[in-house]
Amino acid sequence: MEFEFEQLAAEYSNMIYSIIYSLQIYKNQDDFYQIGLIALWDASKNFDEQKGKFSTYAYSFIKGRIQCALKKEKKYDDHCIYPSEEYWKRLQSDTNLLEIETLLSYFRHLTDREKKWVIQRFYKGLSNREIAAMENMNLATVRSCERRAMEKVRRDGSLASF
């Protein structure tokens, strides 16, 4: 029985692809081909020889199934909202702002320069050398800023909750 269907599938494969092409399906073609094969299987089980040719019956049966699947997919797509790229960029920037505010809440007692070092070091992941180059500062100045910030953090114990 399985061998018979494999032979039938090979014989009607071009018909299924023809239906997919005629319906202008360009996405998920493999999925629709699979739907067509299942429809071919059902058509072979439901076919009544007294009512006509199998090829005509199979064509309309397969096309009907694929059209139903297309309608179902369209209905699903219409009910799903896909946000624009701008939305995702804005959400990312809002999230980044919240992360920076959370990070800085632990370092309220630092000077502005020290806070800037904390953001660049711990949020952006830059090295002291990169920070110095970016801020046009001497490397020794950046290191002293780091030393003062870390001393204040250790002394005040502001990261004890971590």
- pLDDT tens per residue across span 66-88: 999 999 988 888 887 777 777 77
- pLDDT tens per residue across span 22-54: 999 988 899 999 999 999 999 999 888 888 899
User: Residue 154 corresponds to which tokens in the numbers above?
Assistant: 């250790």
Q: What is the dihedral of CA 39, 72, 70, 83, to 10 degrees?
A: -150
Other Cβ atoms within 10 Å of 46 Cβ, number: 9
Residues near 27 by Cβ (< 8 Å), separated by ≥ 6?
Answer: none
- CATH T-level topology, domain 85-156: Arc Repressor Mutant, subunit A (1.10.10)
Say what the pTM is: 0.50
- CATH T-level topology, domain 2-79: Rna Polymerase Sigma Factor; Chain: A (1.10.1740)
- Residue boundaries of the structural domains of the chain: 2-79, 85-156
> How far apart, in whole angstroms, are the C-alpha atoms of residue 34 and residue 66?
10
The tally of CA atoms less than 13 A away on the side-chain side of residue 85 is 0
pLDDT at res. 162: 43
CA angle 14, 12, 54 (to 5 degrees): 135
